[in-house]
A = this chain, B = another copy of it.
Amino acid sequence: MSTWEDNVRRVVPYVPGEQPKIKDIIKLNTNENPYPPSPMVINKQLELKNLRLYPDDKALVLVDAIADYHKVDSAQVFVGVGSDDVLAMAFMTFFNSDKKILFPDITYSFYDVWAELLGIPYRQPALDENFRLVKEDYYVENGGIVFPNPNAPTSIAEPVSFVEDIVKHNKDVVVIVDEAYVDFGGESALSLIDKYDNLLVVRTYSKSRSMAGIRIGYAIGSKKLIKYMNDVKFSYNSYTMNMPSQILGTESLKDEAYFRETVNKVIDTREWFSKEISELGFKCPKSSTNFIFMTHDKIPAKEIFEKARDNKIYVRYFNKPRIDNYLRVTIGTREEMEIFLEFLKSLEA
């Protein structure tokens, strides 16, 4: 081994859900939206000749549009390249104490990867036996808190009063609520933003806005929080949001009707599908997301996962303690879910 390799940062990289290259599959494994973005996005003319110029480093058009949409001040909005960028930047900005940060044992699998990468000590309080967060676990000394609400891969949402209790008990640290899935049925903590200057709410365009391919995430919080994050961001890479992202991200916010319509279609399909599979003996927590977290007493999840893949249906299986008999299944179109349902019925037989 060369000497220069002694000083390489060693990490265990995050492994995202499989993105199969083959066609004609039913892809229910990465929580993408089955519907395309708004026609206003698809038909937007991008003036690509302008690509010769740097994009606005502050992405002001997009920031202003997000601020208008959520009725907050533009100085309360931070934008990034997907919510992963926003969350990693928030970790880097706010989690610099010697105390352990806290996040659940079963949750978004990137949190521990960032903590490892950035050398942040952490502890993971266990969800209860019903996969619920236990708020009292977060009433202890810590270096910061992060959790998704609704949580993933459990799909379970906690009410805003629950979030407020955690924030109230943790005024000395930054509390990050990752609301990637909130539009599918959760209660947002945005209503608490003006009351707590240490609460950061993170959102994404990748799920409800059907724009995973554009890479936009954002955070809303107090002006103080957002300023600190921007300082770090501008010390790292000034121009991260490219011109197409700024323009198409802004366009998406103009079509509320389409947004609501597609979100509701996903919710309707989810409710129908959850009922259907319960009749097949599957159980899943009540989902407030665009996926369900399903298990069966008799048919092992890993077996279903593999057989489904053989049938060109991709779902997500986590070979991890406590959840290794569960599948995370993205809600696709009604037609896709009907095919998956038929497949599940064939297992029963």
Binding site for B on A (CB under 8 A): 2-16, 19, 27, 30, 32-37, 41-42, 44, 46, 48-57, 81-82, 84-85, 88, 92-97, 113-114, 116-117, 143-144, 171-174, 197-198, 206, 210-215, 224, 228, 230-245, 248
Q: Which residues of B contact A13 (CB under 8 A)?
A: 230-235
- Copies, count: 2
Dominant secondary structure at the A interface: loop
Query: Which B residue sits closest to A34, measured CB to CB?
Result: B52
Contact between A9 and B213, CB atoms less than 8 A apart:
no
Contact between B232 and A117, CB atoms less than 8 A apart:
yes
Q: Which residues of B contact A50 (CB under 8 A)?
A: 36, 213
Q: How far is the CA of A132 from the CA of B244 in the complex (A)?
A: 39
Q: Which residues of B contact A42 (CB under 8 A)?
A: 48-49
Contact between B237 and A84, CB atoms less than 8 A apart:
yes
Contact between B44 and A240, CB atoms less than 8 A apart:
no
Contact between A215 and B37, CB atoms less than 8 A apart:
no
Q: How far is the CA of A251 from the CA of B44 in the complex (A)?
A: 20
Instruction: Give the residue of B4, B51, B230 whose beta carbon is less than 8 angstroms from that of A172.
Output: B4
CB pairs A–B below 8 angstroms (14 shown): A3-B172, A4-B173, A4-B174, A8-B228, A9-B96, A11-B232, A11-B235, A12-B235, A13-B235, A15-B234, A36-B51, A37-B49, A37-B52, A50-B213
Smallest distance from the beta carbon of A102 to chain B beta carbons, Å? 14
Q: Which residues of B contact A245 (CB under 8 A)?
A: 242, 244
Smallest distance from the beta carbon of A286 to chain B beta carbons, Å? 25
Once A3-B172, A37-B52, A52-B32 are accepted as A-B contacts, the answer to whether A85 and B240 lie under 8 Å apart by CB is: yes
Contact between A4 and B171, CB atoms less than 8 A apart:
yes
Smallest distance from the beta carbon of A153 to chain B beta carbons, Å? 16
Contact between A117 and B236, CB atoms less than 8 A apart:
yes
